Structure 1
């Protein structure tokens, strides 16, 4: 009963129609299904989430929306196929990533679950309730009278299709193409798009192996005549294709992961296998419309390169690549790229590279679904790798597709340019705030470490060069593995420059194609208890994905740990002071 003694009932906008009932799992914190939910059990594995340890299967999951990885759609698809998905989902905002997973399940496998969006006021009233039913545009407690006659449309069908668009929906094209176009147009209508646009390139995140459903979907598209029509790169996969046998990863899963990648290559995608496509030749130009998936890549493309992409979910990426068409919505539109929140960062003298991932993580917490503009960093002069680290951590805690930093990012030469002159709410970040993030990553100090994990997102050639400088003249502790994930392209560069040989002499090992969110044992040694990383993204996702304790340090701190065999004894001096 609510405060007026009535059972709950409210009208809802339906992103996916249907009816379902189940026990309520409520959280006021968004959840990334990738790295947050185990697709084989349905259990929430994100250690930082309020629902950690609970099973989603058969429940009505209510949360503001998703966040983090674009791969959430693939995880949800696998949950649906496994019979472990929520019975229904209820949000307080429109959500694309998880919705797309249900749309693919409907279109390809004939399975579905309803997704409803409540007004934030009604959503807040769900807390403390035991069970819910979703049906015909109404969300209500069993036994209550559903709201009828007040269904709210989740989208207005203003989508105008060209003659070519209609042809892509017809039987005159391969089945894979018409299926892809149906999915693209469904999402375009949910986004309220009035038209579709051409894109210059696509980066596919859906090539990762989540389970049998991700392999089956890729092989179906390839078998149904799917062929990309724009330049298409591929994200990091779950296996080092050339060296998985010598690395000793599980042969069944390794072959399946390789088969997913091969299916996308058969459709014409380039085997780039990197989560940092902005490091490749041919990165998009400012103002160019593209369709990138992978959360950190989307944020970097929009914010640092000034290209234009929505945060495309896994599977929608390949659908756009097969058709060349994308919704004219989201960050493809000028006004949707303006800041909605100001975050003022206090001066912090003497900071090292750990500043940027800590800051990105905290900004994402403050701006879980709004585009922020940062002030106070006008003279900071971050490198591309600093911005990569910031953006990856930001994309872990926020669902927003971009950020601005005044005087740094291309669409924020001035505060007025980033905001469009609007008056916005202002939040602040202090040294104490970042120290709190550091302590959340490091509940203890000076602990023994067995693995130093670098390269989430993939290390650049410059980062490998800096790492070599930090290792030079030093000796790795025999009980510590130091492993770096890189793209094939970067690995070729550091082989040519001699950096790879120098790092391997120190005892570093390299994994290509995969990154830390996708690697398999024994790359993460089964006997290891504790992993140290310089990535805010992996510090968050690592515990759930690896089953290990994960700590965070600067790059220099990570090298010290590889030499000494233990984590740093204290926060960095710039942060503690």
Structure 2
């Protein structure tokens, strides 16, 4: 049995290998170990499988924008898949392949096929990509080149993206100056990457953006550092205000914290390279907490999945989910493809979710509901009903957006009665997200085998000033177990403000340690205590990624439950009363 399927080439050219398929999107950051190629996302259907040398078929990427950096590292190290096949719009993984091709002359095929064709792939064992087609065969190896199947997709030649650019993209005089190299080598290379991505996204023109948030400053390996250093060598300077995401270490204190120089030195060098290009050393994964946050309707270019979802959904600013490395390209030119969430049409809801909020639900509801809604929405932008009277705080919405961005590929969401563009949104397809769905999400995030807790991890995304105040209040008059470390990550600006307000001192008296510049998705030992078998967190995002990233069991719950665990050294696996059957 075999199929021959038309395929649109997004990057690279031909490839062949064993076929590995899944019906669920995959984040390469936190989901795939770049050293081994193994899927480390314990919640994914492919957990434990190796993607190296295989034709990986997934609906799309999802989760972190840093997936592009991880894939590029794998390509240059020879540990990447033989090819990637998707059926949804896919920019994060594609961008990693494009940078490897354009900057390092290393190719990886990424192709898109129709959804109906993707559904036919299950059960096939081998795949190859050639001449604008994906050819899959059964284990017996039967050749299928003469057996095409009906499809809604149109084949695209290997140079299809280039032809699309030449035919469709309107260039301004400034764009042509970038393309001709009149603004230097760095801006020229950056603009070429933007051109290629514009073709993939179907953009007819580019737009000006007023600010950029760069996620590519996270250290994924030597290739990412070399890319940044090349830009500096080529004279790169940002043209618009540019902030930097959390990096991989506490820039000022990593040595005293016991971080190995093998990580601390290159991670710091990477941060320094972006600062040398003119970026602000903000080092936060929550740039919307900075004093100069974007405003409604502002066209921006942000990376970092939680920040993108929050900016689009809660603030009403406009950005694509910008992959790592495309972010600095946009910063160097001030130009971005006019596609997706930059446009009115790209912000419309495509699925409606009816969510039940149980009575007496605590603050754990918001990350839990975001996680469950992301699983249901997939790549669709949802409008969420049922929370009109919930009155979430900014921190509730921060937690919701971060968890949603972990399990969904969508760049935004709408919550009726809450977010600024929700009025008038609806969709013909409706899905109920009830208490049973919340319980399943709870069980998924509470996978620790025992109730012993050795670490309470808070601040993913980075803690806000209000959360620092809530923490200081929650620990007042209580005594931390000496067997439990309590660590909070936050941005420098928030830490400074919380210090002035007395919240840091109050929390430190309880035994809380504060870490700035980096975040939990980048932290390992010794900040994660080597003796800690399990950790507890109030972050749906970190509860999802931690088992694969730090190989610890996880318990998830409210901030109050986290503090109780810090005091007792234990965390129950039972559902909270508001989730009980």
TM-score (norm 2): 0.95
Quote how far apart the aligned CAs of 1:486 are: 0.5
Q: 2:325 aligns with which of 315, 323, 328?
A: 315
Quote how far apart the aligned CAs of 1:493 are: 0.5
Alignment of 1:257-268 (within 5 A): 257-268=267-278
Paired position in structure 1 for 2:127 = 132
Asked if structure 2 preserves the Cα contact closer than 8 Å seen for 1:445 and 1:569, the reply is no
Pairing 1:537–2:541 present = yes
Paired position in structure 1 for 2:235 = 225
Paired position in structure 1 for 2:107 = 112
Alignment of 1:36-51 (within 5 A): 36-51=31-46
Q: 484-493 or 244-253: which moved more?
A: 244-253
Paired position in structure 1 for 2:396 = 386
Q: 225-234 or 561-570: which moved more?
A: 561-570
Distance 1:197 1:538 in 2: 34
Paired position in structure 1 for 2:551 = 547
Distance 2:266 2:250 in 1: 12
Paired position in structure 1 for 2:140 = none
SS in 1 for 2:439: helix
Q: 2:362 aligns with which of 352, 367, 370?
A: 352
Quote how far apart the aligned CAs of 1:150 are: 6.0
* CA RMSD, Structure 1 to Structure 2 (Å): 1.5
Q: 2:15 aligns with which of 15, 20, 43?
A: 20
Distance 1:520 1:322 in 2: 32
Q: 44-53 or 151-160: which moved more?
A: 151-160
SS in 2 for 1:244: coil
Pairing 1:145–2:145 present = yes
Quote how far apart the aligned CAs of 1:54 are: 1.4
Asked if structure 1 preserves the Cα contact closer than 8 Å seen for 2:66 and 2:215, the reply is yes
Asked if structure 1 preserves the Cα contact closer than 8 Å seen for 2:54 and 2:82, the reply is yes
SS in 2 for 1:411: coil
Q: 1:90 aligns with which of 85, 91, 94?
A: 85
Seen in structure 2, the aligned counterparts of structure 1 residues 439 and 160 have a Cα distance that, compared at 3 Å, is same
Q: 506-515 or 147-156: which moved more?
A: 147-156
Distance 1:129 1:284 in 2: 47
Q: Is there any run of 5+ residues in structure 2 with no aligned partner, and where?
A: 138-142
Deviations 1:64-109 (A, max 9, x none): 1111110000000000011000111111122100000000001110
Alignment of 1:82-481 (within 5 A): 82-141=77-136, 143-145=143-145, 151-152=155-156, 156-157=164-165, 158-412=168-422, 414=423, 416=424, 418-419=425-426, 423-443=427-447, 447-481=451-485
Asked if structure 2 preserves the Cα contact closer than 8 Å seen for 1:9 and 1:141, the reply is yes
SS in 2 for 1:247: coil
Paired position in structure 2 for 1:523 = 527
Distance 1:81 1:59 in 2: 16
Deviations 1:408-451 (A, max 9, x none): 00111x3x2x23xxx52111111121111111222468711000
